[in-house]
Amino acid sequence: MATIIFGAIIICAISFFTDKSRFGKWTIQSIKKDTGVSWAKFYWVGDSLNGTYYERTAMFIPVRLEGLPYNFSFQFDLGDYRTEFYETNLNSFAAKHPELKDKIGSLKSPLQFWDSNKAVKKLALLLGDLQVSTENCFIRKKYGDSLSINNATDTFHIGTIGADMFQNKILIIDYPAQRFAICDTVPDVFATTFTSIEIDKTGMPILPMRLGNKTYRINFDNGSSLFPIITLAKNINNFSTQPDTDSIRISSWMQYHTVTGRRMIDSFEFGGQSFANVMVYANHSGLGIDPTTDGMAGNALFWDKTIIIDFKNKRFGVK
């Protein structure tokens, strides 16, 4: 009996580590025939918050799914460590397309019966000039909205593209041109001075921020479009002791909470760039903030720049 139990444990362990090594692994290929940089587009999505309309609350990527005749969009969000479908949105299409439904299966192997998470198997997506594929794309359970797909010319929002897609790659985000590229090496045209960064255990980039005589660890999250810097409320005085002048009610994965903002008088260095007179926001709920870091930076610092996140060599550049 002991031998049987030991054997079962070994089999389950092998199954666990084998499946984990496949999950989140993406293959990136260019569909262009020339050797230039292969680009994919993104577009800004706006929203009204507290009665004020903001033009850049999120970055969406136009996407085509192999075998389906629809225009889809995914949110571009490095604050999510994994690329994922929203289950309710996805089921709207799986109900109509058996070929898609047949691709939905268990994320883990049958021996890992304790894990009920699902994945889309053998997935291929087209993002502009890029085709990306994976053996398993995670499905966020019980999340999203039922979609009416009677009008096939509409664009349907269906998920999030996260940090896992860019591991061991170089991500270039050209904000003014609203496009991004995924490369194996930095193209000559984007050669610049780089700052050393961390890539944390979930694959997300952590940048150094130099303020006064202290260095803070700041997570760069392009899903946090509105905020130059945002931190836990208990840390806000590390960045500014000015009075609050702004308050915004926001949503983090459909959980609503309020953040308050104040002006940073002191200049600071972040990602090799100098900034001054920037707003910093206090997150009073903790939602969306990694407590092991000192805060998070969004797109607002770089709206007129091109940034290069080198996940392979752990460095960050601005062009």
Same domain, 113 and 28: yes
DSSP codes, 65-104:
ETT---EEEEEE-TTSSS-EEEHHHHHHHHTT-HHHHTTE
pLDDT at 15 over 90: no
254: region left, alpha or beta (phi > 0 left; psi from -120 to 50 alpha)? left
Output the domain CATH number for residue 104: 2.40.70
Same domain, 297 and 212: yes
Listed in sequence order, the residues at least 6 apart from 19 whose beta carbon sits closer than 8 Å to its beta carbon are: 107, 108, 109, 112, 136
Q: Which of 166, 198, 223 is the last residue of a domain?
A: 166
Domain that holds residue 149: 23-166
Residue-level pLDDT at 287: 79
Residue 134 lies in a domain: yes
Q: How many domains are contained in the chain?
A: 2
Residue-level pLDDT at 152: 76
Quick one: three-class SS letters along 148-175?
CCCCCCCEEEEEEECHHHHCCCEEEEEC
Residue 173 lies in a domain: no
Same domain, 194 and 161: no
Stretch 137-147: mean pLDDT, rounded? 94
Residue-level pLDDT at 1: 54
Same domain, 210 and 255: yes
* Percentage above 90 pLDDT, the chain: 76
What pTM does this model have? 0.89
Residue 304 lies in a domain: yes
Residue 79 identity: G
pLDDT at 141 over 50: yes
The residue with greater pLDDT, 47 or 196, is: 196
**What distances in angstroms separate CA 156 from CA 17, 79, 133, 141, 238, one per listed residue?**
34, 22, 20, 18, 42
Residue-level pLDDT at 109: 54
pLDDT tens profile 234-256: 999 999 999 999 998 887 767 78
pLDDT tens profile 29-68: 999 888 789 999 999 999 888 888 989 999 999 999 999 9
Indicate the average pLDDT of the chain: 89
pLDDT at 203 over 50: yes
Same domain, 158 and 202: no
Residue-level pLDDT at 20: 47
Same domain, 53 and 106: yes
Stretch 199-223: mean pLDDT, rounded? 96
Same domain, 221 and 92: no
Residue 294 lies in a domain: yes
Residue 115's pLDDT band (boundaries 50, 70, 90)? Answer: low
Output the domain CATH number for residue 221: 2.40.70.10
pLDDT at 13 over 60: no
Same domain, 196 and 295: yes
pLDDT at 19 over 60: no
